[in-house]
């Protein structure tokens, strides 16, 4: 079944800025998709169309969630189907106490009191903010706010979860914890859309990557999209650092047909290569090595202007 269907979506802001042009894609239920694109590419704008927030006379095209077109009169019911974590957590925290912010969604969906309490506790625990019910939302730190914003969506238990930059502003431990939360949601069968500039996190989180630059410039498996260096660099984007490093290793003679996407992939790759080489891996320097290294590195260099 199709979780999200967007067909020929176009949107311009009232000052005339064109944010989306002919955007079409489908996401199946249970899929986990990373949405990437440079600053100003229209990613957040697209997200706001998925629950009808930006539905207006200025939007042209179709958006269907779980098989139904978005009905502007029923936008208040959307959070049950799709929960959206905005880029700026301040747009999601507006009650005095965090517990009230996390309870707000389920109360509005008519969830019974006891169940609301249970969900608030559970959602705060999941994002590592156990016991934060009585904390003042707008006093939380940047990273705490980001996690709090995610809790306000988890408490509604939506079928589809879309997150705008979930790992931004998080310290390494919180980032790792958040990646675990997202993996947990993925294995529960939730449909996930993750907007991120954190390319190193993508291989762990998403099976598919959509590249948006006003319109969709690439859509494929994570491996396919990361293999298209030219397209990525043209869009001002990167591949995971480990892929870049293995391209450098290739210049030193490391035999590797398929570049690893993650550290786990790299460990498997090295293990296989060393086992096939009788316990050794042979690297060498010859006359083309350094030019090879330079060209591997320059592929991903971004130039201003
Ligand atoms: N309220 C608005 N009024 C006018 N233009 C806007 C408005 N909001 C966004 N834009 C413009 O629309 C374009 C798309 O913005 P959007 O926020 O969707 O980009 P993004 O891909 O989310 O970027 P980032 O990675 O920086 O978050 C940009 O050119 C932006 O300046
Ligand atoms: Mg954005």
Enumerate domains of the chain plus CATH numbers. Answer: 2-234 (3.40.50.300), 241-298 (no CATH)
**Residue 151: per-residue pLDDT:** 96
Report which secondary-structure segment, H or E, holds 162: strand 160-164
**Residue 57: per-residue pLDDT:** 64
**Residue 55: per-residue pLDDT:** 67
- How far is it, in rounded angstroms, from Cα 59 to Cα 62? 9
From the CA of 64, how far away is ligand 2's center (Å)? 22
Residue 138 burial (CB < 10 Å; 0-12/13-18/19+)?
A: middle
From the CA of 140, how far away is ligand 1's center (Å)? 26
Partner residues linked to 170 by β-bridges? none
**Residue 197: per-residue pLDDT:** 94
Best residue among 15, 37, 44 to mutate for probing ligand 1, ranked by most atoms within 8 Å of CB: 44
Ligand 1, residue 47: give the atom nearest the CA.
18
Nearest ligand to the CA of 42 is 1
pLDDT over 70 (residue 76): yes
User: For the whole model, what pTM was predicted?
Assistant: 0.93
Partner residues linked to 68 by β-bridges? 65
Residue 93 near residue 137, CB atoms below 8 Å:
yes
Tell me: the pLDDT tens digits for 156-208?
999 999 999 999 888 999 899 889 999 999 999 999 999 999 999 999 999 99
Best residue among 43, 164, 199, 217 to mutate for probing ligand 1, ranked by most atoms within 8 Å of CB: 43
Helix (H, G, I), strand (E, B) or coil at 263: helix
Nearest ligand to the CA of 164 is 2
50 to each of 3, 66, 196, how far by Cα in Å?
Answer: 11, 11, 17
pLDDT over 90 (residue 98): yes
Atom 7 of ligand 1, nearest CA residue: 13
At which residue do the structure tokens 């210049």 appear? 251
- Chain centroid offset of residue 143 CA: 17
- Sign of the dihedral defined by the CA atoms of residues 208, 211, 215, 217, in that order: negative
- How far is it, in rounded angstroms, from Cα 36 to Cα 80? 25
């Amino acid at each position: 079944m199709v979780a999200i269907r967007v067909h020929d979506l176009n949107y311009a802001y009232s000052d005339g800025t064109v944010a989306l042009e002919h955007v079409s894609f489908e996401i199946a239920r249970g899929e986990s998709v990373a949405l990437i694109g440079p600053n100003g590419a229209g990613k957040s704008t697209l997200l706001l169309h998925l629950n009808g927030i930006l539905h207006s006379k200025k939007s042209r095209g179709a958006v269907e969630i779980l098989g139904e077109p978005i009905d502007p009169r029923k936008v208040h019911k959307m959070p049950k189907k799709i929960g959206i974590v905005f880029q700026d957590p301040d747009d999601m925290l507006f009650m005095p106490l965090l517990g009230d912010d996390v309870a707000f969604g389920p109360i509005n969906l008519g969830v019974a009191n006891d169940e609301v309490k249970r969900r608030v506790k559970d959602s705060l625990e999941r994002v590592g903010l156990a016991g934060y019910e009585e904390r003042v939302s707008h006093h939380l730190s940047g990273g705490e706010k980001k996690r709090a914003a995610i809790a306000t969506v988890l408490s509604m238990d939506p079928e589809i979860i879309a997150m705008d930059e979930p790992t931004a502003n998080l310290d390494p431990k919180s980032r790792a914890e958040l990646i675990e939360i997202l993996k947990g949601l993925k294995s529960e069968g939730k449909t996930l859309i993750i907007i991120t500039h954190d390319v190193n996190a993508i291989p762990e989180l998403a099976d598919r990557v959509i590249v948006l630059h006003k319109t969709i410039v690439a859509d494929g498996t994570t491996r396919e999209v990361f293999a298209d260096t030219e397209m990525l660099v043209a869009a001002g984007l990167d591949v995971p650092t480990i892929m870049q490093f293995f391209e450098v290793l290739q210049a030193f003679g490391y035999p590797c047909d398929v570049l690893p996407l993650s550290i786990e992939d790299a460990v498997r790759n090295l293990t296989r290569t060393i086992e096939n080489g009788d316990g050794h891996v042979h690297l060498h320097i010859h006359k083309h090595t350094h030019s090879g290294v330079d060209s591997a590195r320059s592929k991903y260099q971004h130039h201003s202007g």
